[in-house]
Amino acid sequence: MPARALGAPLAIILGATSVGLIITTIWAAALGQSAVAAVFGIFAAFWVSYFLLVTALIRGWFGILAPDVTATLELFLITWLVVVVMLTLATLRLPVSFTAVFVLVALTVLLVLLGTEQASTGLTKTAGYFLLAAAAVGVYLFFNSLSLATGGKALPLGPPILK
pTM to 2 decimals?
0.90
What pLDDT, on a 0 to 100 scale, did the predictor assign at position 88?
97
Does 116 share its domain with 145? yes
Summarize pLDDT for 118-129 with one digit per residue, the tens: 999 999 999 999
What pLDDT, on a 0 to 100 scale, did the predictor assign at position 159?
97
Summarize pLDDT for 45-76 with one digit per residue, the tens: 999 999 999 899 888 999 999 899 999 999 99
**Domain limit, last residue, from 19, 47, 63:** 63
Whole-angstrom distance, CA of residue 96 vs CA of residue 117: 31
**Domain limit, last residue, from 47, 63, 79:** 63
What pLDDT, on a 0 to 100 scale, did the predictor assign at position 1?
55
Does 29 share its domain with 76? no
Does 45 share its domain with 71? no
**Domain limit, last residue, from 13, 48, 63:** 63
Whole-angstrom distance, CA of residue 98 vs CA of residue 82: 18
- The range of the structural domain enclosing residue 120 comes to 64-163
- Count of domains for the chain: 2
Does 54 share its domain with 69? no
Does 139 share its domain with 69? yes
Summarize pLDDT for 71-129 with one digit per residue, the tens: 999 999 999 999 999 999 999 999 999 999 999 999 999 999 999 999 999 999 999 99
Q: What distances in angstroms separate CA 151 from CA 50, 96, 145, 147, one per listed residue?
A: 37, 23, 10, 6
Nearest to 13 by CA among 57, 37, 49, 59: 49
Give CA 4 to chain center in angstroms. Answer: 23
Does 26 share its domain with 78? no
- Name the residue with higher pLDDT: 3 or 97: 97
What pLDDT, on a 0 to 100 scale, did the predictor assign at position 3?
62
Does 46 share its domain with 79? no
